[in-house]
Amino acid sequence: MSTPHLQGNKGDYAKTVLMPGDPLRAKFIADNYLENVRCVNEIRGMLGFTGTYHGVPVSVQGSGMGQPSIGIYSYELYHEFDVQNIIRIGTAGGVAEEVKLRDIVLGQGACTNSNYAVQFGLPGNYAPIASFRLLRTAAETAEALGIKAKVGNLFSSDMFYDDADSLAKWQKMGVLAIEMESAALYMNAARAGRDALCICTVSDCPLRQEFTSAEERQTGFTDMMKLALETVTKLGAELPF
Ligand code: HPA
C-alpha cells in the first residue's frame, strides 16, 4: 500500500519519524546514527529510512521545503502509515534579539502567513501548537544533555524571499525564529489527532545579516540530531512498539 509520494508498505515506518527538510540529511542520519537501517522511500529523491537508535525503532524521512511539501508527507505518514510522532528537525532564521546563531529553538507554536488552515473551514483563526508531550520530553532531554534550548513561537512563512519584509513586526510579537514548515505540520497533526514538534537550529539571523558557514551548520545540526534521537529513546519507553 504505497501513497502517491511514499512507496513503503504499512509497517515500513516507525511510530516516530524525524523529518529534516533535506533528504540528504535523512541519509546522513541513517548512515551515521541508526542501526539495522533500510531505505523505505526514493520517490522524487525524497529519501526515507527506517532503523533503530539504541534499540528503539525510528524513521527519518525528508520533508522538502515549505508547507505544501511537508503537508503532503506528514499527511501520508499520519493517515496512511499510522505514524504517531513527527519531529521536524530543521534550520531557522533567528528573529528575537536573544536568539543567536547556532541556538536550538523548540517550536511551542507556529504563526504563519499561509492559508493552510482555510481547508478546515474554521470560524476564526487556528493557533498551531506543538504536542505538549513531545515538547516536554524534548525540553527535559535538552536539559539532561546540557543543551540550551529556547522554547517559544516560530513564524512559518510561505516566502523565503519576502517583499513584505515583515520580520521586525513578528519580532515585536515575541517570535523567536522564522522557518517554512511547522505551522502546516502542527495543523496536520491536530487534524489527525497525532503529535508533532519542530526542533530548529538557527542557521542565520536575517535582521542582523548574520549567517553561519556550511561547517557551522553541520555542527549545530549534530547537537540537534543528538537531542532529537535522545528524545526518541525517551518516547520509546512510552510506546508499545
Ligand atoms: N527564512 C526562512 N526560512 C529559513 C531561514 C530564513 O531566514 N533560515 C532557515 N530557514
The answer to whether residue 22 is domain-embedded is: yes
Cell reading at 62: 525528508
Q: Is residue 4 part of a domain?
A: no
For residues 41 and 77, is the Cβ–Cβ distance under 8 A?
no
Task: Return the pLDDT at 221.
Answer: 82
Any idea what the CATH number is for the domain that residue 31 is in?
3.40.50.1580
Residue 41 pLDDT: 98
H/E stretch holding 203: strand 195-205
In a domain, 24, yes or no: yes
Question: From atom 7 of ligand 1, which residue's Cα is the shortest distance away?
Answer: 93
Task: Provide the residue range defining the domain that includes 99.
Answer: 16-236
204 carries an active-site annotation: yes
CB of 92 within 6 A of ligand 1: the answer is yes
Residue 2 lies in a domain: no
Residue 63: pLDDT band with limits 50, 70, 90? very high
Q: For position 230, what pLDDT does the model report?
A: 98
Residue 9 domain flag = no
- For residue 206, being part of any structural domain is answered with yes
| 91 in contact with ligand 1, CB cutoff 6 A | yes
201 lines ligand 1 (CB under 6 A): no
**DSSP per-residue codes, 15-49:** SEEEE-SSHHHHHHHHHHH-EEEEEEE-GGG--EE
Residue matched to cell numbers 508531550: 133
Residue 21 falls inside a structural domain: yes
Asked if residue 7 belongs to a domain, the reply is no
Predicted pLDDT at 214: 81
Count the domains in the chain: 1
